[in-house]
Structure 1
Amino acid sequence: MNYQESFINYLKYEKRNSSHTVIAYKKDLDQFVLFCTEMVGEFDVKRVDTKLVRNWIVSLMERGYTPRSVNRKVSTIKAYFRFLMKNAETSGVETNPAINLPLPKIRKKLPGFVEENNLHHLLDDGFFSDDFRGVRDKLIITLLYGTGIRLAELLKLKESSFDMKGYLIKVLGKRQKERIIPYPRSINPLLQQYLEIRNREVGYTPDALLVTEKGEPVYEKLIYRVVKRSLEMVTSLEKKSPHVLRHSYATHLLNKGADLNAVKELLGHSSLSATQIYTHTTFEKLHDIYKQAHPRG
């Protein structure tokens, strides 16, 4: 039985992981299988032990892989053996050799974000033209910053995703999880302006909110170009990506006193630990405010 193929199908159809995640898991697993074959002459799941996995980790570090990459690859092997243990009757695997292994520590990198006044400057001071492309690009930036949605979530938006009376947007997130989040009232006039010019110049498109001049749905590279070109006008931040606007959204909410659990729900995080990284940034901001404002700061 081909357990690797079964595992990949399990990720696709039962776990419903994204195509990017499935491809990454497959690459990691293929790499591990190749290492084991080179080390012991064949790959047999029943013969894989903790020592073999540890040797693989060492070889990865020696080849220059970052701690983050190594940790992800080991997570793949853990997941694979959990799958085999669920199917122990046929696989013969009863233990997970990747459990309890010491892993290289990942240095936490604080998320970059754009200052609030810079984003207000970008959106309010005439940086975007009034033609189809200008209005669409401004809507892209406004939606990413105004809602904190992911790039993949933005690409799935339809006109029907919006409750314009309630100022709510329905988003399809990771693992097909749906969430409803509020959006700023200022989005409605811009959204209506975009829909009018799109329907007039390009045509009505029910399957995608954001389209190209040819009426085709926008794609990842186009969004990246729009964000990079726009942010270059107001910030010297090295990384200028859609995710930076998501970081900015979360950071600005917390700076204004938003509850961490509420921000977690808005971002669609499955655990609070994913949201807590933003508190480091807000603590730094609070420290700066204290130094400036407190008489003994």
Structure 2
Amino acid sequence: MTVVDQWRPETAAGGFTRDDEAIEFYTRVNALVEPDMVVVDLGAGRGSRFDHGSAPFRKWFCNFHGRVRKVIGIDVDPVVMTHPHLDEARVIEPGGRLPLEDASVDIIICEWVIEHVEHPRQFAQEIHRVLKPGGWLCALTPNRLGYVGIGTTLVPETVKDRIMRLVWPERPREDAFPTFYRMNTLGSIRRAFDEKSWSHHGYVSNGTPKYHGGTAAGFAFVSLLQWLMPPAMRTNLLVFSRKRPGPIGTQARLQKACQDLSVAPAERQGEKV
């Protein structure tokens, strides 16, 4: 029995905790998804959330393959080509242009990804380009003001891996990538995704304690730390930003003009000249 099983006995009923941030995040994503949508998993990787050991419910709940028109996985790591639950997989260069047509995507999902983004403005421009008007960016990432974000930004890269082995011994080494934390507060999201083009509906939230070293004392300490933190310093940042619908298109304007011209003269008799 793991320390999480001890402190969160409800895990036995379905395979997730009462404060599971992935279930919280994907609950809202599921509420947005519709069967005719194109969904992009940006930073899809090898599909680690579907690894052996994940609860069947979690595997289904976080998987949109076969539930929408198309799921496209994109990553800088070629391992994305082995992802088992994609309709299409594409590899890009770090900071490169997304291999997608303009206004071709309904929802973009970034799970533990945007902390690795080095150039927020460039990233935001590409997201805006490929999303349809009214489309959603949904991201789950550490809050830079939370204990994980503060610890990660303060610890030098030279010792970070050693510390991670102590506080998160089960973390797969292949899932370690450089972090920048340049879009990891509600304010930095609003700065990167300007409010003229986006409406923002994100928030910060505490999830199941992590980085506790697999010990009961560590879990208790992190639980207390999360409880003591003020609301702005909660652990996770959940981003739900919607691309604002654009101005009426040329074709729609022409259709409206034709409808106006087709109004019968009799209907205009009461109008003042």
Which structure features the higher share of helix residues? 1
Which structure features the higher share of strand residues? 2
Tell me which structure has the larger Cα radius of gyration: 1
